[in-house]
Structure 1
């Protein structure tokens, strides 16, 4: 009996030691930061609606780390040092990923050995150019020019153009991120204009945030202008 209890006690010590090893495992301390860009300019998207995946081959089970893109096109991820593969899942983003070469296609290889900043080049279907916003009376007017970037066999049409207003800096088609919105006429893509009335519940605010978004036919994620703060 004593021998059996001794075996159980030794086993318990081994389990406790293993748990301590797990608890003492260092957390990732290296940062990968950067922007998703087109011609070196960040590509604005819906906040946390678009992501890419980081794979670390040969490091335990192959499970990707999803990295969400902020609404201004930036991203940040805390990682362990090592080699990673960066890929976008098909259908993610209002853009087409760029082919690196015939062998690796659009996969990007990244060597992490200390903090690193990168730019991920993509090609958006459209860009919102010269976005401008003004408060007139009890309304906010937004104007812009729409530029079609992809014109080959992958070209897509515009489904709608929308002006959004929100009381916080997060502004998008997501219902939690807009207090007012209105669709605009984009028959002439070089001169799009929309005016949305400021809701009564926001009339006493000192400022609001606004941006324009474009829904592209057959593409889930919208492309936007950068968010702009409007003083009331």
Structure 2
């Protein structure tokens, strides 16, 4: 009985080894699919590695989907095999709503990848951050900006808060912030003219610059909307 078990175990190991070799011999994906998440051609800023979309390859659903993260500046990139894909942005992802695709009649975007492809994905944001001007010195940083409400129908959402974040690195959001200033949505008196100021703390090791950007938290929406990252030298 023990000999039979050892024999069966050996066969299993051989089978696994052969499968592993076959898997290792597969070509790696080489076709670049890249672009930006945009509104009227303007990239949508988000927090790093928090917002993503899914690529489903037809015929391979049982193997799950490819998750593609959206970078801080709204850009994305992924290496793919040639084939037909369905691009889906989950409903809980991003500070925006998905648009209906004319070809599919839904928010699913069909893709045919037969070579490297650059494509922007249009979405409908709840708000846009406008006219951002960030300046400062070694003591404090000030941001002046406005908010434009894009969605004004029954899907409209209120402003929870606006935040000015400072970071030692080019990754700027609440996780990396070394200083911040906040203003609640109910305290905003003029959406077109908002000012936030925060102090620059002592940094170890010392450095003569910080990175800054403005974030907007929308009521009932998990992901924040962000302005572009700016480096403030002093």
**Normalization by structure 1: what TM-score?**
0.89
Q: CA deviation at 1:109?
A: 0.5
Q: Using a 3 Å threshold, how does the CA distance of structure 1 residues 121 and 11 change in structure 2: closer, same or farther?
A: closer
Give the SS at the match of 2:23: helix
Q: Using a 3 Å threshold, how does the CA distance of structure 1 residues 220 and 12 change in structure 2: closer, same or farther?
A: closer
Aligned counterpart in structure 1 of residue 209 of structure 2, from 196, 203, 207: 207
Q: Which runs of 5+ in 1 are unaligned?
A: 1-6
Q: CA deviation at 1:14?
A: 6.5
**Hey, what does 1:180 align to over in structure 2?**
179
Residues 56, 62 of structure 1: 8 Å contact kept: no
Q: Using a 3 Å threshold, how does the CA distance of structure 1 residues 22 and 189 change in structure 2: closer, same or farther?
A: same
**Hey, what does 2:162 align to over in structure 1?**
161
Q: CA deviation at 1:18?
A: 4.2
**Hey, what does 2:71 align to over in structure 1?**
70
**Hey, what does 1:113 align to over in structure 2?**
114
Q: CA deviation at 1:19?
A: 3.4
User: Which residues of 2 match residues 11-30 of structure 1 at below 5 A?
Assistant: 16-30=17-31
Q: Distance in 2 between matches of 1:192 and 1:12?
A: 66
Cα offsets for 1:84-138 (capped at 9, x unmatched): 0001111110001111149531110011111111100001000000101111461
Q: Which runs of 5+ in 2 are unaligned?
A: 1-7
Q: Which 10-residue stretch deviates more, 152-161 or 197-206?
A: 197-206
Q: Distance in 1 between matches of 2:50 and 2:91?
A: 14
Q: What is the root-mean-square deviation of aligned Cα atoms in Å?
A: 2.4
2:63 aligned with 1:47: no
**Normalization by structure 2: what TM-score?**
0.89
Q: CA deviation at 1:186?
A: 2.2
Residues 91, 97 of structure 2: 8 Å contact kept: no
Q: Using a 3 Å threshold, how does the CA distance of structure 1 residues 96 and 9 change in structure 2: closer, same or farther?
A: closer
Residues 166, 178 of structure 1: 8 Å contact kept: yes
Give the SS at the match of 1:193: strand
**Hey, what does 1:231 align to over in structure 2?**
233
2:191 aligned with 1:189: yes
Residues 138, 208 of structure 2: 8 Å contact kept: no
**Hey, what does 2:101 align to over in structure 1?**
100
Q: Distance in 2 between matches of 1:121 and 1:40?
A: 7
Q: Using a 3 Å threshold, how does the CA distance of structure 1 residues 196 and 11 change in structure 2: closer, same or farther?
A: closer
Residues 137, 233 of structure 2: 8 Å contact kept: no
**Hey, what does 1:4 align to over in structure 2?**
none
